[in-house]
Amino acid sequence: MSRSYQLLKYLCLLGWSAFVVFPFLWALSTSFKDANSVTGGARYLPWVEFEPTTLGWRSLFASGSQGINIVTPFLNSATVTLLASIISLALGTLAAYGLSRYKFRAGFVKNSDITFFFISQRIMPPIVLAIPFFLMLKEISALDTIWGLVIVYIALLLPIAVWVMIDFFDSIPRELDEMAMIDGCTPIGAFFRVILPNSLAGLVVAGMFCLIFGWNDFFFAFTLTFTETQLLPVAIVSLNSSVTPWWSLSAFALISVTPLALIAVVVERFMSRGSLAGAFR
């Protein structure tokens, strides 16, 4: 492998890393600026040519009219995302296992059609689902509530869990099910004692996707809530007024990204250990 190829490879990686990291550095620097630094500060090196201030960060935790309520939207987002992800992962795993191991036929509808139905729920534009969800939640008095959003998010995240887990179950030989049942397991016992432990990487990936999509959703959080239940993305956008506090907005955005970044780091290490364990078996 030539040195020029190695140099080109590292330059590409460096350029891509800079492209990915730059928005975060920009937001981090803006979170330590005041109004004058944002609107009339340095022109060529705005991320270093300013006097740092913690005004943006202090406003997130200050009390009274000058403070921004970040705790309640954060807890609301965490509650809705975690509950919806756990339920979606549980239901999606069972549905995916059934579609992977058994053949269903109702007239011309086959397993592939059922699988595509789940996938089509993610292809469909969210605006198509907004009015049905709004009317449904209104009918059951769940508009602007945590549990109403959990129901909606389960409908959004379940197709992701099914889609990811079907591929993992298909990659596991059916002989494992048969061997477990020969050893005395029932089909349910074979699933929980043999197949599910071997699908740990798939569960982690599906769970991570559910958390990411649930945490980042803005459209349904905005259309199905008003004042009682405000999620983090809506709270961030609500900071935009006639005079946008870019310093507070940047600090708020960085805090909203932190949980997903931590999850990605933990999940990456966990998946590496799982892959190694599988290789040694």
End-to-end C-alpha distance for the chain, whole angstroms: 34
What is the CA 42 to chain-centroid distance, rounded?
36
Please state, as a whole number, how many other Cβ atoms lie within 10 Å of the Cβ of residue 129: 18
pLDDT of residue 275: 47
Residue 279 has pLDDT above 50, yes or no: no
Q: What is the pLDDT of residues 232-257, one digit of tens each?
A: 888 888 877 666 788 888 888 898 88
Handedness of CA 165, 170, 172, 175 (dihedral sign): positive
Residue 57 has pLDDT above 70, yes or no: yes
What's the rounded Cα separation, in Å, for the pair 25 and 277? 37
Whether the CB-CB separation of 40 and 222 falls below 8 Å is answered with no
Residue 81 has pLDDT above 80, yes or no: yes
pLDDT of residue 174: 85
Q: What is the largest CA-CA distance in the chain?
A: 75
Structure tokens at 187: 């089909």
pLDDT of residue 7: 87
Residue 215 has pLDDT above 80, yes or no: yes
Residue 31 has pLDDT above 60, yes or no: yes
Nearest to 164 by CA among 233, 106, 212: 212
pLDDT of residue 205: 87
